[in-house]
């Protein structure tokens, strides 16, 4: 059976380090890290995420600010808030919770955030830095950054010569994940819905990352024996065995099958999920260090 990669415990390690770095920063007389979270509308899943992000920021000793705006907030009003946060020296990270209401251009909003405060890593400048290997100053999207830490826990930092297959080509996970693996000297293939013979390609992977948003799409016989499998998917499916109308969370990988073949695998829940918020905290503290003219901490 595969080693189960415990994302919860790695995330706790990251948050502990963030707390220590925050104390160190404040002890040196610098401004404590500040994270501003902006949410527009009443999306229940977004409300849960935002509450969790704000709570973790406070735990880390950050200055935590939250703007909760009604769904009919205009794009101009939202852009004004971001401008103000860009100019606020006590804020090092700005996060606008997606999705935004339909009348607001999310792309325009993200590109308005100052790149050095873009702790989500979605600004074109950060995307470009990641794509060209400028990792010292880039902010990397939190889910792929967290996935990379989990891979390093199993495989070490130097992944030279390993074959990596990333299933999924989104801007938020698939593409940045591929760039991180390239930077670690993997041979990387990005696969997607149009890929021919996806199972055969997946079987070439020493590191297989599934980020497609399709429940249990990656089967056990897609996995190369001994491979490291990172399951980024979070899908809710019906669970009649738990009772009428009940559901359960599954990943993009058929876990029970894959765990019999893989060398190491992330569970869902408890794998990549906890890492996302931990890496948001890591990016924010890194931004505060850079703003104070100090060396960026590594995780």
The per-residue pLDDT for range 46-80, each reduced to its tens digit, is 888 899 999 999 999 999 999 999 999 999 999 99
Residue 18: is its pLDDT beyond 90? yes
Element (H, E) at 150: helix 142-155
What span, in angstroms and rounded, lies between the C-alpha atoms of 204 and 62?
Answer: 43
Residue with tokens 């770095």: 21
Q: Which two tokens stand for residue 93?
A: 């990270």
The contacts of residue 9 (CB under 8 Å, 6+ apart) are none
Residue with tokens 């406070």: 58
* DSSP character at residue 221: G
Does the annotation mark 120 as catalytic? yes
Residue with tokens 């946060």: 85
Cα 179 to the center of its chain, rounded Å: 14
Q: Which two tokens stand for residue 28?
A: 């040196």
Is the torsion defined by CA of 124, 129, 133, 135 positive or negative? negative
What average pLDDT score do residues 216-234 get? 97
Question: What does the mean pLDDT of the chain come to?
Answer: 96
Is the torsion defined by CA of 128, 130, 131, 134 positive or negative? positive
The contacts of residue 54 (CB under 8 Å, 6+ apart) are 37, 64, 66
- Other CB atoms within 10 Å distance of the CB of residue 115: 18
φ and ψ of 52, to 5 deg:
-65, -40
What span, in angstroms and rounded, lies between the C-alpha atoms of 289 and 32?
Answer: 9
Burial class (CB in 10 A: 0-12, 13-18, 19+), 245: exposed
| Catalytic residue (one of 120, 206, 231, 252) | 120
3-state secondary structure of 152: helix
- Write down the pLDDT at residue 241: 87
Residue 245: is its pLDDT beyond 90? no
pTM exceeds 0.85, yes or no = yes
Does the annotation mark 66 as catalytic? no
Domains defined for the chain, CATH in brackets: 29-116 (3.40.50.10860), 142-274 (3.40.50.720)
The per-residue pLDDT for range 152-195, each reduced to its tens digit, is 999 999 999 999 999 999 999 999 999 999 999 999 999 998 99
- Strand pairing class (34-40; 93-96): parallel
- Write down the pLDDT at residue 69: 96
Does the annotation mark 53 as catalytic? yes
Cα dist. 37→178, 210, 220 in Å? Answer: 27, 28, 39
Cβ contact 106:254 at 8 Å = no
Q: Which two tokens stand for residue 12?
A: 């706790």
Residue 144: is its pLDDT beyond 90? yes
Residue 242: is its pLDDT beyond 90? no
* DSSP character at residue 269: S
| Catalytic residue (one of 53, 129, 175, 224) | 53
| Catalytic residue (one of 97, 206, 224, 252) | 97
3-state secondary structure of 153: helix
For residue 243, name the pLDDT band (cuts at 50, 70, 90): confident
């Amino acid at each position: 059976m595969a080693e189960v990669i415990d994302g919860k415990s790695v995330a706790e390690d990251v948050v502990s380090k963030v707390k220590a770095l925050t104390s160190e920063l404040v002890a040196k007389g610098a401004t404590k890290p500040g994270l501003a979270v902006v949410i527009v509308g009443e999306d229940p899943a977004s409300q849960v995420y935002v509450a969790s992000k704000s709570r973790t920021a406070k735990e880390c000793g950050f200055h935590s600010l939250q703007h909760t705006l009604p769904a009919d907030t205009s794009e101009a009003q939202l852009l004004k808030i971001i401008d103000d946060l860009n100019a606020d020296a006590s804020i090092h990270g700005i996060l606008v919770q997606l999705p935004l209401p339909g009348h607001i251009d999310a792309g325009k909003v993200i590109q308005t955030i100052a790149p050095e405060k873009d702790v989500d890593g979605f600004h074109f400048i950060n995307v470009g830095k990641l794509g060209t290997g400028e990792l010292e100053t880039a902010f990397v999207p939190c889910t792929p950054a967290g996935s990379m830490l989990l891979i390093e826990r199993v495989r070490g930092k130097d992944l030279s010569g390993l074959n990596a297959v990333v299933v999924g080509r989104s801007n938020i996970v698939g593409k940045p994940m591929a760039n991180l693996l390239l930077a670690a000297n993997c041979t990387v293939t990005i696969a997607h819905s149009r890929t021919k013979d996806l199972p055969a390609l997946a079987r070439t992977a020493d590191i297989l990352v599934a980020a497609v948003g399709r429940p249990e799409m990656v089967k056990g016989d897609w996995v190369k024996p001994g491979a490291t499998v990172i399951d980024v998917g979070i899908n809710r499916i019906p669970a009649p065995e738990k009772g009428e109308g009940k559901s359960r969370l599954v990943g993009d990988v058929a876990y029970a099958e894959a765990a019999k073949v893989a060398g190491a695998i992330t569970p869902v829940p408890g794998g990549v999920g906890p890492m996302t918020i931990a890496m948001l905290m890591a990016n924010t503290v890194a931004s505060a260090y850079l703003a104070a003219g100090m060396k960026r901490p590594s995780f």
